[in-house]
Structure 1
Amino acid sequence: MEPENDRDPYPWIIWYIWKARNDKLFRGIDRDPGDLVRHAESECQAWHNARENMNTVQVIQEPQVLSLGDICMIDGSWTSMDQFSGLGWVWKNSRGNIQLMGTRNLRRRESALHSELEALKWAMETMLQHSDCQRFSTDCKDLITMLTEPQVWPNFSTELVMIQTIKLCYSDFKICCTKNRKYDS
């Protein structure tokens, strides 16, 4: 079997074990082994699906009714004094009803933008598993700029490559900037 057609997840698992080892050694972050294996397998599957989608022509039926569609709103929190960063997302349907939400507490990231990117990555991965939501919203204008002009942000290249890889799984990914009037000043 040619290497590009080999769907064996073991190289992916080994790679994520190596990354988890580095996180443990250099950042003090422990990863759950079961989550690590599941994540590696899903990344392997997503990569192969994205490659197949690039080689096939897809015909998408447009709906006959106008719909605002689902949206996933994301946010990250970060302060230089806290030990942890916070991530959150809320998936709402076209009527504005909450369908699913998630919050997570992680060791403090390098910057507020790193937290925002981590929140987007997590929300994108979760939406792929639980919905067909294609639209995302953030209150961080720099995040939008990073996604449209990644070459201007070389310090975030690793994170942006991960986002771009996940984006391949979306047929019509969109992200917009909205002000979170309720919580942000």
Structure 2
Amino acid sequence: MSDSLYSNFYRVLNLNYEHAKEEAHDQLGPWLLWRIWKNRNEFLYKGKDYDAPSTVRKAREDMEEWRSRKKAEVSEVSRDHNGNLLWTCARELPTLGSQIEVEAEAIRWAVRILGGFSYQHVIVETDSLELTKMINGIEAPWPKLRPIIQDISNLLATKKAYRVEFFPRSGNKVADRIANESLTFMSHIPKLYSIMPVWLSSLLEAEKPL
């Protein structure tokens, strides 16, 4: 950190770019600043003091509460067998009842898009093990997910070499990064890229061995 207030602000707000391979949440910076300001007022006017861990925890809670009020954002990443980028896309969805519904809609969208590109062999990865089991017929679909899963199954039936597999979130930070970036888009039109965005290149390279 430096003696310049503006330099320090810049550094906090760009942690993800400077430390792309670390667990730096680029959306948390503004919420930390907001929580520090609120803590300052609490200390001045009520004499209440908060330590660093509780400040970070409250900042995360503020951020998650705000994000839960926004419409859902889903993102997809298409890579070849060597991990090279083929396509990235992001799309806003209407407010849904749960995260697993958002994930199911993302899978349905991915299968439709890739099928339209005429790819012959596709593995769709999701970090929801429960949803994976429902799509693959291991578990019965939840009633509210049944129409979406039925549509996914129908799409997969026309693409014999397509399959849905479980893959932990920790191994796919690229998709999470795209979802976070899509929160800043001013337009609600779905975004589709065939060229690597600058803000994604370092993460994609880091995940290639996976």
TM-score normalised according to structure 2 size: 0.46
Deviation readout 1:94-118 (Å, 9 max, x if unpaired)? 1100101111112221211110000
1:157 matched residue in structure 2: 146
Work out the CA distance in 2 between the residues paired with 1:132 and 1:166: 13
Match of 2:88 among 97, 101, 105: 101
After TM superposition, give the deviation of residue 152 of structure 1 in Å: 4.5
Contact 2:120 2:161 in 1 (8 A): no
State the SS of the aligned residue for 2:134: helix
2:113 matched residue in structure 1: 126
Contact 1:150 1:157 in 2 (8 A): no
After TM superposition, give the deviation of residue 173 of structure 1 in Å: 2.3
Deviation readout 1:31-73 (Å, 9 max, x if unpaired)? xxxxxxxxxxxxxxxxxxxxxxxxxxxxxxxxxxxxxxxxxxx
2:128 matched residue in structure 1: 140
State the SS of the aligned residue for 1:151: coil
1:1-185 equivalences in 2 (<5 Å): 81-130=68-117, 131-147=119-135, 148-149=137-138, 151-181=140-170, 183=173
Which runs of no fewer than 5 residues in structure 2 stay unpaired? Answer: 1-63, 177-210
After TM superposition, give the deviation of residue 176 of structure 1 in Å: 1.5
TM-score normalised according to structure 1 size: 0.52
Aligned residues: 107
Contact 1:127 1:133 in 2 (8 A): no
Higher relative contact order (CA 8 A, sep 6+): 2
Could you tell me the percent identity over the aligned residues? 18
After TM superposition, give the deviation of residue 144 of structure 1 in Å: 0.6
Structure with the higher fraction of residues in helix conformation:
2
Which runs of no fewer than 5 residues in structure 1 stay unpaired? Answer: 1-77
Work out the CA distance in 2 between the residues paired with 1:107 and 1:86: 9
